[in-house]
A and B are shown apart, each in its own frame.
Chain A
Amino acid sequence: MDKPQIILHSQKSVNYTVFDVKWIPTSAKFISLGNHARGTGALDIFEITHGDIAVVSQYEKPSAFKCGTFGASPTREKRHLATGNFDGYIQVWDLEKIESPIYSVKGHKEIINAIDAVGGLGIGQGAPEIATASRDGSVHIWDTRQAHAAVASMEPAEGETKRDCWAVCFGNAFSSSERVVCAGYDNGDVCCLEFDRKDIEMNKLVATTLESKIHVFDMRTQHQEKGFASVVEKAHNSTVWIGRHLPQNRDVFMTCGGSGSYYLWKYNYPEKRTMTETDKTEVGVAGTLTLLQNIGLSSQPASAFDWSLDKTGLACTSAFDQTVRVLITTKLNSI
């Protein structure tokens, strides 16, 4: 009974499909991005007040939003939200002047499935960069200083079939020039990818897939043939849509499933993280996962989940039942 408890703090119904929710850095507010029935994009700002969620402002944009991130915001005070929408546009919005984006480019030919950013918010070093993954099979990296073209792109070669790219994440951003981008495609059924920390040398990677599987890779040791060591868990009895690490403790993460369930996990490191094989090569050793707590909140899949950077245990989440929820997880300090 001294396990962490996941408690629903408050919830709010909205009249559009919510695809993404994100906390606004340095505040008690969060934004939700979604798609109205009429095909326009919804951008709402909510605030937690004593025991309830209050709507601060609502905006409607011409095109539906699929994903967003604050990761490329230059400082914690100046909040720039980078979004990807259904038409393949990448846009950066300044929350103080939401009327028009400060950066907009048609980066992809098809819907942008996932977006991630690094280098902003005062975390890590180097220039802020945004990565987008799209159904057109390509991953592009953007720098807001270069308007017309991506800084880098990863595309399938000419003639190869293009697989939908479903997930993308940054990692290994410990210096101003070093970055690693990880992309997951539909032929691997990868729904979500996340490194435990973006701004350190890559340590662990969580990959959530269809068929209720959660993979955790130990990224410190790469073997030539065997690759990275990993541990697999089955949970949720449905597609695991999201996996998110707790910012304050990188060994704890939450996964959200297609059944509307939330599972809180802890990764335990093995005694030795590497092992020398008979042919003198190093191979990684995966640890174990322990389920700390779980809760079922809705009947519809969870579309988004975000931990707050400012308050341990506070999280916002959204589901396809057109609700946004705020969760509290207790006793995380004693894990």
Chain B
Amino acid sequence: MPGEYERNLLNMQHQIRENNAYLDDYLNDLNSWTDEMKKKEENSLKVADATAMNRDLPPVRNFVAPPRPKKKSKTKSEEAKPNEIKSAAPKIRAYDYRAWDKYDVDTECERIDTSGKNRSNDDEEDADDDDEEYQQELLKKKAEHYKDQGNYQFKQKSYGEAIEYYTKAIECDPTSPIYFANRAQCQLFEQRYGACDADCTLAIQLDQNYLKAYYRRSLARIELGKLEQAKEDLEYVLSREPTNIDAKTKLNEVIKKDEIKRLGRVYPLPNKPVDKQSTKPLKRIDIQEIDTSIISSRETTKKKSVVIEEIETMETSTPSEPVPQRSAPQPSISTPAPSTSQSEEIPPKLIIIPTSVPTTGYQFKRDWSNLNNQLEQQSIYFNKIPPTSYKTIFSTGIDSSVFSRILVFWSSKTDIDEHLINSMLELRKTPRFNTQLSFLGNDDKQHLKTILDRLQANSSFASDKIQTIVRDYKTDADQI
């Protein structure tokens, strides 16, 4: 039918025109593309070198032993043989009938026999020392290969694998400090600080000048807490390489840490708001033991706090001057020596002598300690106690310090009175009195002697009482 035929024809024409148009487009595109590519190429050639070499490529896949260097004298003979053998007998293919026709079995056998002998001779000639040298070379190359593998793993941050490779390298060649140092670095990342320390030490043994190893060892030692040793290492590094910034910063860190360790953390008081706090650095001041007598009983429950605060004004008196220990009772002593603290003022307090007479040992002990070695107060207090209650108060025995204090009182009394004699009499009735007597110090014995001499000299009292006293208070000192 003409209609359809025409339609098909038209279709085809249309298609062809379309294709041609398409083709023209393509060609134009192609032309512009080629021009573009030319320009690109020119540009890229200029930029080429910069980025090319920065790729981190994995190391060569397998380790292949380098060819064995043959000694010259032997090469010729060795080379000659294989060639001979080769040229003599290229393998004859199974389907090559003509060659097989020409094949002579006998000559072949002869040739094989002779060549076999020669080859065995050659093998014997191969010196063993050649072998050893070669083996050494081989191992070194192998070790390097493993090191490369390890380095690649390190870059990929697989530290465990890297350590394995480095270990293999060390097995092949234990004389190179580099493998140990590299392994140490991996172990730092794996937080195996002990192993790192050991590896660095090995590296240093192999090469004393290997500064990297010292530095890494110091890092490990810091983590292990060996601050002194870390300092040593860092100082060594800095002595050899004064411009090493890492070592400097680490050293400062170590010094700081060390101080903190020794002195404890120190902060200023948070009393003032931040903006009003002084920015002056904290200064360390030695702690002063001040006379505890100025602190009353109420104060003793307060904990002694080490307060180190900034020095605002004066730094007059030297810290080394101790406050006089047994100052005369000054109930109104206010602040201690100005060098210690200006923050906390100890308010003036009266030392109160307990008015109630103690009836139990506990009360006595408590009051006694509250009197804090003030002789006057203690003697007053003691004299209040009726001698008859000594036994109950000292039911567990007299404390040696109390006893010596009592002796002091008695020796300071220049006159003898009833009270004294009675107290002496009663005191000897306390348990373990004799042991206390024998444990008297020399000073105490002196006191005792003076007392006894005075007693004996004084004849106004009942002599039998005095006699008992003298007898019972006898110590070895009398015999000295």
Chain A interfacial positions (CB closer than 8 Å to B): 1-2, 5, 7, 9, 26-28, 47-51, 74-78, 96, 126-129, 141, 143, 145-146, 148-152, 176-177, 310-311, 313-314, 328, 330-331
Contacts and interface: CB of A to CB of B under 8 A. Distances in A.
Given A75-B52, A127-B61, A148 B67 contact: yes
B304 interface: no
A26 B34 contact: no
Nearest to A175: B58
A306 B47 CA distance: 27
A1 B19 contact: yes
Contacts of B116: none
A152 B62 contact: yes
B55 interface: yes
Nearest to A127: B57
Interface string B44-55: 110111011001
Contacts of A1: 12, 15, 18-19
Which 10 residue pairs across A and B have the least CB separation, nearest first? A1-B15, A149-B64, A77-B48, A28-B34, A28-B37, A77-B44, A127-B57, A151-B61, A27-B41, A146-B60
Nearest to B42: A27
B52 A78 contact: yes
A148 B65 CA distance: 9
A49 B27 CA distance: 11
Nearest to A27: B41
B66 interface: yes
Contact of A77 (B15, B33, B52, B57): B52
B130 to A, nearest CB: 19
A116 to B, nearest CB: 16
Interface string B400-416: 00000000000000000
Nearest to A162: B91
A145 B238 CA distance: 38
B60 A149 contact: no
A78 B61 contact: no
B26 A330 contact: yes
Interface in B298-350: none
Contacts of A50: 31, 34
B30 interface: yes
Nearest to B93: A161
A143 B34 contact: no
A81 to B, nearest CB: 15
Nearest to A328: B26
Contacts of B18: 1
15 contacts: A1-B12, A2-B15, A7-B23, A9-B27, A9-B30, A26-B40, A75-B48, A77-B45, A143-B60, A145-B60, A148-B64, A148-B67, A176-B58, A310-B33, A328-B23
A27 B62 contact: no
A28 B23 CA distance: 19
Contacts of B66: 148-149
A85 to B, nearest CB: 22
Contacts of A128: 57
Contacts of B33: 28, 310-311
B38 interface: yes
A128 to B, nearest CB: 8
Main secondary structure of the interface of B (DSSP, over half): helix
B22 interface: yes
Interface string B7-32: 00000100100110011001100110
Contact of B34 (A49, A74, A75, A145): A49
Given A5-B19, A75-B52, A77-B48, A27 B37 contact: yes
B34 A5 contact: no
Contact of B64 (A78, A146, A328): A146
Given A76-B44, A129-B61, A310-B33, 9 more contacts: A5-B19, A26-B40, A27-B40, A50-B31, A78-B49, A126-B58, A127-B57, A152-B62, A330-B23
A151 B52 contact: no
Nearest to A329: B26
Contacts of A47: 34
A7 B30 CA distance: 13
A1 B17 CA distance: 11
A197 B31 CA distance: 29
A100 to B, nearest CB: 19
B61 A143 contact: yes
Contacts of A311: 30, 33
A48 B34 contact: yes
A26 B44 contact: yes
A28 B38 contact: yes
A119 to B, nearest CB: 8
B60 A127 contact: yes
Interface in B208-262: none
A51 B23 CA distance: 12
Nearest to A73: B52
Nearest to B50: A77
A169 to B, nearest CB: 18
A150 B64 contact: yes
Contacts of A7: 23
A328 B29 CA distance: 12
Nearest to B48: A77
Contact of A152 (B26, B34, B59, B61): B61
Contacts of B23: 5, 7, 328, 330
Nearest to A122: B55
A141 B48 CA distance: 27
Contacts of A150: 64
A217 B23 CA distance: 34
A316 to B, nearest CB: 13
Nearest to B49: A78
A245 B471 CA distance: 127
B156 to A, nearest CB: 9
A1 B14 CA distance: 10
Contacts of B49: 78
Contact of B22 (A48, A127, A145, A331): A331
Contacts of B38: 27-28
Nearest to A311: B33
Contacts of B47: 77
A9 B12 CA distance: 23
A314 B30 contact: yes
Nearest to A74: B52
A26 B64 contact: no
A126 B57 contact: yes
Contacts of A77: 44-45, 47-48, 52
